[in-house]
A and B are shown apart, each in its own frame.
Chain A
């Protein structure tokens, strides 16, 4: 099992944002986390990636305990993530953004940089190559020289994915990858995510758009008020009365 989430809980003061949630992500799967607004989906991601410390429970990644590791260490172990509000290095070029994704694999120090050692040169070339590969993967290579903050919104979302892919991670966490894009672009993004899965990436995504999730995920975890209320294939989950009550039902009334 690639990722094991066990009884993970996060309290913010009196509010229990994530309440005793457990699930597994097997390698090669697309796992979706769904639930109504405020269900604790993004908080759950923030716990897995180490952005917040958890109140209790445990996280195991490749059979190592990552529960109390800082975010950058978890990233180096192979968990890449995107943020809900597209998060980029806005003032840097698209290429520099993607290079930062691969950056963790380079070990050259300040002295390597100052002395232009073979290691520094090799790692810079390697990083550049990995960055172009990732940009190509995300279909935005022609934008490489542009400043990230100046490219269209949809391309920015692709760049966020390119940064994650450039890291060559074992698990990618996508936090609402299609929030705020048109339905046509949603289809293209779904194709990109499927492409990632075909390339062997294990993906865990938080998503609001049911249509995207149903056609994409191997299995789904449903959260409601921070608790897991269902887990299963898209078919099983959409037939589950508790889910219909909490999520689909609510959506029909809305």
Chain B
């Protein structure tokens, strides 16, 4: 009986802490709501086709794995205390930022190649059709993700509850790129590929990247000062 009582004591302690701070629950609920919204773009059709489904799975996978990449890429610098060295290095802050973002983009590209292969095999998506266009969408979306993500991950370095707050910050802001990615690949994988639509999303992603390149460079400079 003591065993169960001890377990309950620990659970009750946890619940009481949470009731007073509501930190875990409120961020959890927010995170869950964001996942529902991200999925809504992919699965909102009444009868989703295999292309829509595969495309949704691809971008949900990118969003999740990208968050892990960002967390590790910056956490590693903090754990090794190398971030201070980086910031003290005689180079432009923006160059350091771009370097970090480029690293994350490359991780994402590798992961995306694997996920594309998987959705091709497991969901039967025609991933090899119009591959250059698919690659363009995937790479442009990754660049946008890495730019916005690196800014936030960099800013979060000195904040409490980093791992909790990164997706909270990142997902709402990155959603336009996720919509563009999902809709872009879905249009290419449809039974009759919508090339015009795909080109629209590619242009959209290019604009997204350009805007956030400017904003991130300015923000990173003034946000990670000390």
Partners in one complex: no
Interface residues of A (CB under 8 A from B): none
